[in-house]
Amino acid sequence: MIGPHHILFYDYVEDVLERRGPYREEHLARFTAAKEAGLVVAAGALGDPPTGAAAVLAGDISAVEALVAGDPYVVNGLVTAWRVVPWNVVV
């Protein structure tokens, strides 16, 4: 049986490329650690230039919310909105 999955969507500020520098390393490190722990399946920016991001997550919603709450992009206002959508994986 496949466990719970979610898709996390971020909306970014317009000038995210100019503002992300001081936070990028920690942001990527948090998502890499979450991937190594089995929470993140895949993640990345949406658009070119990026207008947001998405991540496929395998795990409990509380783990997803904890990842978001500590994300320096969220904490420092680079993310204008975020949402988590349950994903009903069938294959």
E strand or H helix that includes residue 54: strand 50-58
pLDDT digits (tens, 9 = 90+) for 40-88: 999 999 999 999 999 999 988 899 999 999 999 999 999 999 999 999 8
Q: Where are the domains of the chain?
A: 5-87
Check if CATH label 3.40.50.620 holds for domain 5-87.
no
Candidates 79, 5, 7, 87; CA nearest to 43 is: 7
Residue 3 has pLDDT above 80, yes or no: no
Q: What is the pTM of this model?
A: 0.92
